[in-house]
Amino acid sequence: MYDVIVIGAGHAGCEAAFACARLKLNTLLLTINLDKVALMPCNPAIGGMGKSQLIKELDAMGGQMGKIADLAGIQFKLLNQKKGPAVQALRTQIDKKEYETLMKHLLETTDNILLKQGTVAKLLVDGIKVKGVLTEDGMQFLAKAVIITSGTFLRGRIIIGDKDYYAGRMGENPAMNLTKSLTSLGFEMDRFQTATPPRVDKRSIDFSKTIISSGDEEAGSFSFWACPKRGERANIPSFLTYTNSKTHDLIAQNIKYSPIRSGIINTHGPRHCPSIDRKVLNFPQKHKHPVFIEPEGVHTNEMYLQGLTTSMPFYLQEKIVNTVEGLEKASIIRPGYAVEYDYLIPCQLNYTLESKLIENLYFAGQINGTSGYEEAAVQGFVAGANASLKILGKKPLILTRDTSYIGVLIDDLITKDLSEPYRMYTSRAEYRLFLRSDNADLRLATLGFEAGFLEKEAHQKTLKKQQAIDSLIKLLKNITIKPQKANRYRPNLKLKEPIRLYDLFKRPQVNIGDIKYWLDHASNGYGDGVWKQAEIIIKYEGYINRQFEEIKKTKKLEKFAIPSNIDYFRFKGLTYGAQEKLSRKRPNTLGQASRIAGVSPSDISILLLNLRRK
């Protein structure tokens, strides 16, 4: 008897297992192939817009992805450096094998986690409670909670050209029976599709025809707690080239062989990474598309062709690749392919990622219709955390839109209708100016610590940082400088009246260095991170405060829980449309209800009145 069984050791499964083990729960991590733990089957990169915010938040609460990505990173880039702090993001090229090795090693050396190879065929359920799993080999494992993080493996079907066959990923067995088990329990499933580009041999590339692209020395790291020293980090370049009219002509001539045209694929793929076939079809006016050539790792010759995703027949793939400058002689090591898989329509989940239908059964990652390693990892953490907290009889860990990108992700998943695999963007977060990478620790460390996932030391560090920030801001409010002193150092200020350093800091042209100069030795003792926070808080005070106001306004709605057993059709006054939508989504809170498409503000008013009447 285990406490928790996690099905699948991808990015979601690993974080789920770590979270459970952290609360000392006896955790079984079952996976189809133990050589493929924490595999990155698509791009060799972690982070990017919206995603780096997710990892930082995960790290702030005690998750592992950030630390391992920092260690396995071979090139670090800070995106949007010229923009404000809210939209800067870290993107890291990763040595995939290194990442897998480090993550698997961490799993193997973590107490309370037991790794086992096996394919789950069936869920064991007692009434409306899950009680364990049955594998294809006939092994039975019992547990108090089960977390499904099966990625693309449920009835996974690979498509290359006119060939298609069942596989979880290329060269890996699918899980053919679990879907049936889920649908027989009443879960609604649908199918999505995603695809990956071919990999080519480094030795066959003419790099002289490409543009070299290196990382930033001062990019920073994902983890707030364990930062490897900068000097120790690799900075392995990637390369940029472009497709051309030859590429596009070849694709256009052969478009009938593309599975998106031949009809062999008719499910939705993610719009954020369309195949080159689709780009040529949809944007015929564009004469070139970028192709980033990225290393898959340090100890391999495999190079990833970001931008050339295709599931054309193998023989055409190489021809297409060879039209591109620098890739004329490139030889494909692995072909690109598309994979189609079952996912759970995620509105069947609560904020805890526990299913509404079967108690103690959780879902996380790509199975919930998301795309991306980072999106998967944070869900794994939330599912693992809540499965454990529930077993221990503790308060659930619920993240809402106003606390984190993770909250935005989960709220979107369980509220909206997905039409394609879900990817995070900063523009999805309405409180983006407040939910920044740089303050993820300040926002979430206490939550992570109190729930038992973040170490005490890390939490203490955050509390000290917060105190230092508060004290620095107070100091700046208390110190007024004379105009002569200010103007002497920065003549363009042309000050006439004495001014508080706090107010001076608000001016766009005044930077940290200036304030430090005026503060003189009083600035000692505040670290770079503290200064940075003070600067952001002071400079953007108006905008950030407005977001706080908006958050405050919605708070009560967000906190108003709706019982799960409500019959909306018996509620007087609700429109039929609203009754239907609400019955289908069964929102956890009034706030969530208000975001369901087709539910109007007056429906919410009426819902509130009906709920209060009970």
Partner 1 sequence: MNKKKINNMFYIEEDTIAAIGTKPGEAAIGIVKISGKEAIRVADSIFRSKNGKTINELKSYSLLYGEIIDGRGEVVDEVIVGLMRNPYSYTREDVVEINTHGGITPTTKVLSLCMDRGARLAEPGEFTKRAFLNGRIDLSQAEAVIDLINSKTEESLKIAANNIKGNIKKEIASIRDGIVEILVQLEASIDFIEEDLETTPYEELRKKTGVLLERVEQLIKDESKGEIIKNGVKVAIVGKPNVGKSSLLNLLVKKDKAIVTSIPGTTRDAVEEIIYVGGIPLIIIDTAGIRKTASSVEKIGVERSLGHIDEADIVLMVVDGSRKLDGRDFNIIGKIENKNSILVINKVDLGQKEDIKKLGLPFGPEQTIRVSALKKTGIEDLEHSIKKKVLGNGELNLEDKIIINQRHKKIMQDVREVLQDAETAMANKLSEEFASADLKIASGLLGEITGDTAREEVLENIFSRFCIGK
Residues lying near partner 1 in the complex (CB under 8 A) are found at 48-50, 79-80, 82-84, 86-87, 91, 271-274, 279, 282-283, 286, 289-292, 306-307, 309, 425-428, 430, 432-433, 508, 540, 543, 546-547, 552-553, 556-557, 560, 572-573, 590, 595, 600-602, 605-606, 608-610, 612-613
233 vs 279, beta carbon nearer partner 1: 279
Farthest CA pair distance, the chain: 83
Distance of alpha carbon 223 from alpha carbon 480, whole angstroms: 37
80 vs 140, beta carbon nearer partner 1: 80
Element of type H or E holding 470: helix 456-478
Our measurement of the distance from residue 96's CA atom to the centroid of its chain's CA atoms, rounded to an integer in Å, reads 17
φ and ψ at residue 100, rounded to 5 degrees: -60, -45
471, β-bridge pairs: none
Report in angstroms how near the CB of residue 227 gets to partner 1 at its nearest.
Answer: 24
- Which is it for strands 499-500 and 332-334: parallel, antiparallel or unpaired? unpaired
Distance of alpha carbon 530 from alpha carbon 512, whole angstroms: 11
The answer to whether the beta carbons of residues 181 and 202 sit under 8 Å apart is: no
Question: For tokens 């991808």, what's the residue?
Answer: 10
Report in angstroms how near the CB of residue 536 gets to partner 1 at its nearest.
Answer: 12
521 vs 572, beta carbon nearer partner 1: 572
Element of type H or E holding 546: helix 541-559
- Residue 461 structure tokens: 């560090």
Distance of alpha carbon 29 from alpha carbon 134, whole angstroms: 14
Report in angstroms how near the CB of residue 17 gets to partner 1 at its nearest.
Answer: 31
Burial class of residue 176 (count of CB atoms within 10 Å of its CB; 0-12, 13-18, 19+): middle
Report in angstroms how near the CB of residue 60 gets to partner 1 at its nearest.
Answer: 21
463 vs 566, beta carbon nearer partner 1: 566
494 vs 553, beta carbon nearer partner 1: 553
Report in angstroms how near the CB of residue 597 gets to partner 1 at its nearest.
Answer: 8
Report in angstroms how near the CB of residue 548 gets to partner 1 at its nearest.
Answer: 13
Rg (CA), the chain: 26
489 vs 543, beta carbon nearer partner 1: 543
Report in angstroms how near the CB of residue 318 gets to partner 1 at its nearest.
Answer: 20
Return the closest-CA partner of residue 233 out of 106, 101, 92: 92
Report in angstroms how near the CB of residue 602 gets to partner 1 at its nearest.
Answer: 4
The answer to whether the beta carbons of residues 547 and 439 sit under 8 Å apart is: no
Return the closest-CA partner of residue 91 out of 292, 311, 249: 292
276 vs 397, beta carbon nearer partner 1: 276
Report in angstroms how near the CB of residue 422 gets to partner 1 at its nearest.
Answer: 11
How many CA atoms are closer than 13 Å to the CA of 479, on its beta-carbon side? 20
496 vs 572, beta carbon nearer partner 1: 572
298 vs 609, beta carbon nearer partner 1: 609
Report in angstroms how near the CB of residue 411 gets to partner 1 at its nearest.
Answer: 11
DSSP category for residue 225: S
176 vs 281, beta carbon nearer partner 1: 281
Report in angstroms how near the CB of residue 197 gets to partner 1 at its nearest.
Answer: 10
Report in angstroms how near the CB of residue 149 gets to partner 1 at its nearest.
Answer: 26
The answer to whether the beta carbons of residues 189 and 357 sit under 8 Å apart is: no
Distance of alpha carbon 413 from alpha carbon 428, whole angstroms: 12
87 vs 255, beta carbon nearer partner 1: 87
Neighbours of 293 (CB within 10 A): 26
Return the closest-CA partner of residue 225 out of 463, 525, 457: 457
157, β-bridge pairs: 166, 340
The answer to whether the beta carbons of residues 62 and 22 sit under 8 Å apart is: yes
Question: For tokens 């499933």, what's the residue?
Answer: 189
The answer to whether the beta carbons of residues 190 and 220 sit under 8 Å apart is: no
245 vs 605, beta carbon nearer partner 1: 605
289 vs 586, beta carbon nearer partner 1: 289
125, β-bridge pairs: 130
Report in angstroms how near the CB of residue 87 gets to partner 1 at its nearest.
Answer: 5
Element of type H or E holding 196: strand 189-196
